[in-house]
Amino acid sequence: MSVRRALLILAEGAEEMETVISADVMRRGGIEVTVAGLDGSEPVLCSRNVRIVPDTSLDAAMHKAPFDAVVLPGGNGGAKRLSESATVKEVLKTHEKEGKVLAAVCAGPTAFLAHDIAPGKRVTSHPSVKDKLSSNLQHWSHTKCFEYESVFVAAYVYCEERVVSDGHIITSRGPGTSFEFALAIVSALCGEETAAKISVPMILK
């Protein structure tokens, strides 16, 4: 099997544990991970004042696209910047169209909502952003007997599980679920056997 490749997008205000643990565990699983800075390749100040140096900028990383997975860490500030970025929207839309794995943890799934990614899917998140994902409504109108009938549907099916996988969409709840989140990505890209194998020496249980 060819080497799987993942793009982790790092924005100012990202949650450090979700960033580092996700990248670390994926690399243990044999995934080639590119940590790409949203605003460039300079060190990124994260939510707890830890600076993380990206491998490259997001613009430069996109020359290597497509990836097998796109990963969004949480952190309120980081998630807000991911949600406001036209570049992130383009990355997510392109990879969604190609059926690639899209994964987000903590507040990260709000970027899926902001960019209209995977409506109707089962998702989870940090409890602090649950209402955004579970009560936000999408609106469609369609013609019926020459009249418009409006239909309102919840954007996502919200779940309380620690990690939720629905097709190519993987979401998780926060720093404390980061290992499980990353292992779910490894399982999706490299198989459950690989995920189980790398979890043993990490002594997760």
The catalytic residues are 106, 126
User: What is the C-alpha to C-alpha distance for residues 109 and 165, in angstroms, rounded to an integer?
Assistant: 13
Picking from 5, 17, 195, the residue whose alpha carbon sits closest to that of residue 106 is 17
Question: In terms of DSSP bridges, do strands 32-37 and 56-57 run parallel, antiparallel, or are they unpaired?
Answer: parallel
Q: At what angle do helices 192-199 and 178-190 cross, to 10 degrees?
A: 140
**Backbone φ, ψ for residue 40 (5° rounding):** 140, -170
Other Cβ atoms closer than 10 A to 87: 14
Alpha helix locations (H) across 32-108? 58-61, 76-84, 86-97
The CA-based angle 36-95-6, given to 5 degrees, is 40
